[in-house]
A = this chain, B = another copy of it.
Amino acid sequence: MNMDSIEQAKLENTGFSYILSLINGKYKITILYYLTAFDVVRFNEMKRYIDAVSFKTLSLSLKELESDGLIIRNEYPQIPPKVEYSLAARGKSLIPILEAMCEWGEFHKTTAREM
């Protein structure tokens, strides 16, 4: 994170802005979290885990995560349909970050908020 001037400090085209663009959206990190915990999750199963999300938002988020290469969509051509989502290699490489966030939250959620 070496920055010497305001010009260099601009976030455009940095790795940081890149990762932010991938995990924006209310439920994306949550989706990744469940895929980390359960490895393979079906559409309606994910909907049950995150019951606040709507079909539309879930569907859109999964599509974006897939096109960003973070998750894999595996469709079984059968009746009734079956679609499984799992982490792609890129997504798996995010696990340490997700776990660090989880641990940070566990540790700090009970801590007093004062400085």
Contact = CB atoms under 8 A, between A and B. Distances in A.
Interface of A: 1, 3, 6, 9-11, 13-20, 24, 26, 29-30, 33-34, 36-38, 48-50, 67-69, 72, 88-90, 93-94, 96-109, 111, 113-115
Given A16-B101, A19-B105, 6 more contacts: A14-B106, A15-B107, A16-B30, A19-B102, A20-B29, A69-B115
Given A6-B49, A37-B1, A100 B105 contact: no
A28 B11 CA distance: 14
Contacts of A94: 104
A14 B37 CA distance: 14
